[in-house]
Structure 1
Amino acid sequence: MTGKVFLYSAVDNVLTQYQVDVASGVLERRCSIQVPAKIQYAWPHPSRQYLYVTTSNGGPRVKSDYNHVSAFAIGPDGALTQHGNPQPLDRRAVHMCVDPTGQFILNAHNHPMSGITVHSINADGTIGKAVEQPHSLDYGIYPHQVMTFPSGDAALIVDRGNKPQSDKPEDPGALRSFKMRNGVLDVGNVAAPWGGYGFGPRHVDFHPSKPWLYASDERMNRLYMFRIIDGRIEQEPAYTRETLADSKSVAARQIAGPIHVHPSGRYVYVANRADHTIERDGQKVFAGGENNIAVYVLDQDTGEPQLMQHADTHSFHVRTFACDPSGSLLVTASIKALSVEVGTGLKEVPAALSVFRIGADGSLDFMQKYDVETSGNELQYWMGIVSAK
């Protein structure tokens, strides 16, 4: 183990590498590469020798006709080089992951139809063929994440559903698990508390050693803890917590986001996001809301989360964040620049990487921020941290 840690930030089709100094919290920008299209999500191989990247020329609910999953070898210095040929996907993937054995890549799709596609990973780390799925399965209304259970024998779709609109009722959400054997998916179980109504999960994370699952609810701004019994997610959450500092004064487009359990299993972190704007003298200006990381302490006997802190991200709309493998640093990635009112004028706050020191009690101490350039409609859509092999 070299002890080196690398951060990768994606802006449209450009993937930039940073060297992470865990002791000082300093990010040193290194080099960038271009990939086939806009980066949607990425996931490292368990060996930490390869990074798998899903790309698309589309976006949320936008038609796409150029979609791929690609493999990149991670060099000793963190530099990425293409590893084998990209494999085509028939539609945009909103999220992806690699199973714990490092044998399969799973991509989740929600437009124009829901589904999971599975690709094998060859022994040399290159991407193999798509695994044929013989079963017609129900992947839900609007999948937003795919994860494999720590056991590797099941996959999970986090089905967000959709909030009600003036012309249509609410689409209920659910956690949909599927048996998985040799990359083939089969009927599993569905957890849909309250029939899925008022339940809008976006992302989940598993506890590293206990049979507990934590889910962030995008639509309701909540954190749930579910127990997993004999490989099945219980139908109702054991605990429910608010994610916002002020849940009684919710701004427009106030949504919970990504969630991560600390490597120690003692804390859980959830992003609160807001980027709604209003017009001021012909310019779009931030209209208010919470942009922070909610920090919870976990009871190690029951899994119950207790809110400890809201740490301001000093940015707007954190779509992804990550802890370094040692659990010493947490870095957030906001998607775009946004103007704010300062006195009688306006100030533009760029997209950014915000670095926090994680305290011995799990609390976050803001250290520094690195601006990330996003031009026009470009977005910092994904960020992740990988330790060197």
Structure 2
Amino acid sequence: MAQSAKTRTAETGTTTAANVSTAYVAVGPELTQYAVDGTTISPVPGSMVSVPAPIQYVWQHPGKPIAYVASSDRFAAKPADLHHLSAFAMAPGSGKLSLIGAPRLLTSRPINISTDRDGRFLLVAYNDPASLTVHPIAADGSVGEAIKQDGKLDAGIYAHQVRMLPSNRTVLLVTRGNDPAGGKPEDPGALKVFSFNQGKLAEKQSVAPGSGYGFGPRHADFHPTRPWFYVTMERENQLQMFTLGAEDRIGPAPAFVKTTLAEPGKVRPGQVVGAIHVSRDGRFVYVSNRADGKTELDGRKVFVGGENSIAVFAVDPKTGEPNLIQAVDTRSCHVRTFAIDPSGKTLLAASVAPMDVASGGTVSTVPAKLTAFAIGADGKLSFTAERAVDTAKGPMFWCGFTPLT
């Protein structure tokens, strides 16, 4: 959690400076705390915990110091078909994690998780096959068996995120679809909407402009006070803004469509958009552009080029229109995940893995990194610190501050 006064670092008992934020970072199956201040990013000694498989996503209970961790070995060299939900208690003050009960076994990869706004249910999205489950949360924070739904739900193709709408009566499932590949045609994407009542879901609406072709939504985030939400379009390198109407009905088409790239005319292979966060005051939207395409050079696979950046959009307070005001280099390749600390003053970006890059006839390796930026009053980012991270145990798939987002 963001610290506004001096505090004591977990395990070491040493005093740290004011304005230090605590972040959690997932590398493979391990989740480690980091202290992030204006100039340094440092792991907290003794803070690491592990789960049965590589971590996919993490979400904090909205009212209790409990973190939920989704894990899967789907992309392991020798997958054993292990997929789990784990619950961890977060110690007051230090944030040190301790397992609550045993991890709950799932049947397929949980790509994304979140809770309802009261913290009574955990929502789980699965990408392949696309599906959605709802689990009750017990008083001690542990996760129960999936609630049996009435009939099969249409979960689209390649679900990638699940979020409860602000009303707490409607669930949004963001389904990406797939690009055409290997002679297989494109799979359409959609925003799938379900009514929610005591853990039971019912199909309510499907939004898929152009029948979902050329529509590849990845993640969404909501404006804190207005009926607007913003969606990253992975396959189109776009940010789209949708409106919410009566009874949580989504507008049939985006109100605004914007490129996330500084140079949209120079898209290279492997260029896609990633995560999204709306600032807590609703004035700005932050989006990660990630590129990891490779080409052959002297027998080595090297970066083909592209934009690895955080795009910053200013939000028009009257219309909700997002306007690109900055694209800042992340100093790494393929930032899959980033987070904003509770004070709204620091952004932490995490790249998935190292990348070999050719320059001036030589090839060097850009390591996987955590990169910190200060957030100005105008919403723009200024680089403050970076730290290389060893990803030998798996990709750096997720990061977040406490309260986790």
Q: TM-score, normalised by structure 1?
A: 0.95
Instruction: Indicate the residue corresponding to 2:139 in structure 1.
Output: 123
Instruction: Indicate the residue corresponding to 2:398 in structure 1.
Output: 382
Aligned partners of 1:59, 1:67: CA distance in 2, in Å? 11
User: Aligned pair 1:276/2:293, yes or no?
Assistant: yes
Aligned partners of 2:24, 2:215: CA distance in 1, in Å? 32
Letter aligned with residue 139 of structure 1: A
User: Aligned to 1:303, which of 320, 326, 332?
Assistant: 320
1:119-158 aligned within 5 A: 119-158=135-174
Could you give the per-residue CA deviations for residues 237-283 of structure 1, whole angstroms, max 9, x where no partner exists?
A: 00000111111111001101111101110000111110111122222
Secondary structure in 2 aligned to 1:248?
helix
Q: Is the 8 A contact 1:84 1:127 kept in 2?
A: no
Q: Is the 8 A contact 1:261 1:268 kept in 2?
A: yes
Instruction: Indicate the residue corresponding to 1:351 in structure 2.
Output: 368
User: Aligned pair 1:258/2:275, yes or no?
Assistant: yes
1:1-389 aligned within 5 A: 3=4, 5-21=21-37, 24=38, 26-30=40-44, 31-59=47-75, 65-75=81-91, 76-111=93-128, 113-230=129-246, 231-375=248-392, 378-387=394-403
Aligned partners of 1:169, 1:277: CA distance in 2, in Å? 23
Letter aligned with residue 251 of structure 2: E
Deviates more, 1:191-200 or 1:329-338: 191-200
Secondary structure in 2 aligned to 1:36?
coil
CA change 1:322–1:131 in 2 (3 A) is same
Secondary structure in 2 aligned to 1:100?
coil
Secondary structure in 2 aligned to 1:233?
coil
Q: Is the 8 A contact 1:50 1:72 kept in 2?
A: yes
- Count of paired positions: 383
Letter aligned with residue 81 of structure 1: S
Aligned partners of 2:120, 2:283: CA distance in 1, in Å? 29
Q: Is the 8 A contact 2:88 2:100 kept in 1?
A: yes
Q: Which 4+ stretches in 1 moved above 4 angstroms?
A: 1-4
> What displacement does 1:99 show?
1.4
Aligned partners of 2:265, 2:357: CA distance in 1, in Å? 23
Q: Is the 8 A contact 2:35 2:41 kept in 1?
A: yes
Q: CA RMSD of the aligned region, Å?
A: 1.7
> What displacement does 1:28 show?
2.6
Q: Is the 8 A contact 2:70 2:85 kept in 1?
A: yes
> What displacement does 1:166 show?
4.7
Secondary structure in 1 aligned to 2:210?
helix
Q: Is the 8 A contact 2:190 2:206 kept in 1?
A: yes
Aligned partners of 1:26, 1:122: CA distance in 2, in Å? 38
> What displacement does 1:64 show?
5.7
Letter aligned with residue 340 of structure 1: V
Secondary structure in 2 aligned to 1:127?
coil
